[in-house]
């Protein structure tokens, strides 16, 4: 009875994913905003196999909450292959589960950053903040070093965050320079959110991790912006993105 129930649940999930992709279109990762960097971003959790290129035994820097604040700590990761109910046939295991050693869960994992273990990472925000049109956030380490994150767009956030917006844009400004971080002609059932803000690269300037998803099929798309790699007078540079889809 239990095995039959498990099979029924698995098939329900499979067909839900299949219907989602056929009726509404699966998100094409090639359409994601490009990045120009060797830096990689990763999260722990379960993903489709083609979304994870990392392998077991690799050492990544994890951003962890500690009793003294936040710290970058080297972490050995494990990547386990598992059954993916959305795409696998019986007996197949193409899904991947990423985990990191230790008792606590990192906010995110990063590789390729020119930084070693650091016991203190200045952190301004770790709570997920929905970036809906009209919202403005003040982010800074001091009054003299303050930045403003402002959201523009047309439309309203619907129930459970499911919404469609037009002319969406996200702008970062320090009072002298303004930079557009994201721009979508429309979003489909999803809305970007701020995941983390602080100083990751140690230059005392603002860095950001933003869930840049424009489509409900993309369950998560954390994008890393670093100030130390900014070009052309900009405030930050988009250096890494990790895309996880639901279908």
> Residue 41: inside a domain, yes or no?
yes
Mean pLDDT is lowest, of 4-13, 65-74, 135-144, 213-222, for 4-13
Name the phi and psi angles at 18, rounded to 5: -65, -45
Domain count, the chain: 2
- Per-residue confidence (pLDDT) for residue 124, from 0 to 100: 95
Compute the mean pLDDT over every residue in the chain, rounded to the nearest whole number.
83
Residue 116's pLDDT band (boundaries 50, 70, 90)? low
**Number of Cβ atoms within 10 Å of the Cβ of 90:** 7
Strands 129-130 and 193-198: antiparallel
Q: What string of DSSP letters covers 123-186? A: EEE-S-EE--TT-EEEEEEETTEEEEEEEEEES---GGG--EEEEEEEEEE-SS-EEEEEEEEE
DSSP conformation class of 89: P
Return d(Cα 60, Cα 37) in angstroms, integer. 16
Return d(Cα 116, Cα 118) in angstroms, integer. 6
* Domain C-terminal end among 119, 148, 166: 119
Return d(Cα 78, Cα 191) in angstroms, integer. 31
Return d(Cα 245, Cα 113) in angstroms, integer. 25
Task: Give first-to-last CA distance, the chain, whole Å.
Answer: 28
Contact 190, 213 (CB under 8 A): yes
Same domain, 96 and 189: no
Give, for 74, the enclosing helix (H) or strand (E): strand 69-82
> Residue 5: inside a domain, yes or no?
no
**Number of Cβ atoms within 10 Å of the Cβ of 185:** 10
Q: For 180-186, what is the mean pLDDT? A: 95
Q: State which residues form the domain around 60.
A: 37-119
Half-sphere exposure of 54 (CA within 13 A, CB side): 30
Q: Is the pLDDT of residue 56 over 80?
A: yes
> Residue 211: inside a domain, yes or no?
yes
Same domain, 176 and 84: no
What size, in residues, is the chain? 247
* 3-state SS, residue 108: coil
Of 111, 137, 145, 110, nearest in space to 192 by CA: 137
**Number of Cβ atoms within 10 Å of the Cβ of 67:** 4
Q: Calculate Rg over the CA atoms of the chain.
A: 19
- Per-residue confidence (pLDDT) for residue 65, from 0 to 100: 94
Q: Is the pLDDT of residue 12 over 80?
A: no
* Domain C-terminal end among 103, 119, 135: 119
Q: For 28-53, what is the mean pLDDT? A: 79
> Residue 7: inside a domain, yes or no?
no
> Residue 102: inside a domain, yes or no?
yes
**Pairwise pLDDT comparison (140 vs 230), residue with the higher score:** 230
Dmax (CA) for the chain in angstroms is 66
């Amino acid at each position: 009875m239990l095995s039959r129930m498990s099979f029924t649940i698995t098939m329900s999930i499979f067909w839900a994913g299949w219907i989602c992709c056929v009726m509404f279109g699966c998100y094409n990762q090639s359409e994601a905003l490009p990045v120009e960097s060797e830096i990689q971003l990763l999260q722990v959790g379960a993903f489709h196999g083609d979304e994870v290129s990392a392998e077991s035994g690799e050492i990544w820097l994890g951003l962890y909450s500690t009793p003294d604040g936040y710290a970058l700590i080297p972490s050995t990761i494990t990547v386990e292959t598992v059954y993916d109910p959305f795409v696998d046939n019986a007996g197949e295991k193409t899904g991947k589960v990423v985990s990191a050693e230790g008792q606590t869960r990192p906010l995110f994992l990063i590789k390729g950053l020119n930084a070693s273990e650091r016991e203190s990472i200045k952190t301004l925000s770790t709570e997920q903040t929905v970036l809906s049109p009209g919202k403005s956030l003040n982010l800074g380490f001091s009054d003299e070093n303050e930045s403003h994150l402002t959201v523009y767009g047309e439309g309203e956030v619907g129930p459970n965050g499911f919404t469609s917006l037009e002319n969406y844009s996200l702008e970062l400004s320090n009072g002298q320079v303004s930079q557009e971080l994201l721009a979508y002609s429309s979003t489909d059932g999803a809305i970007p959110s701020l995941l983390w803000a602080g100083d990751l690269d140690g230059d005392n300037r603002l860095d950001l991790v933003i869930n840049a998803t424009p489509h409900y099929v993309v369950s998560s798309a954390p994008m890393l912006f670093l100030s130390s790699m900014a070009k052309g007078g900009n405030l930050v540079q988009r250096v890494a993105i990790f895309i996880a889809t639901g279908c």
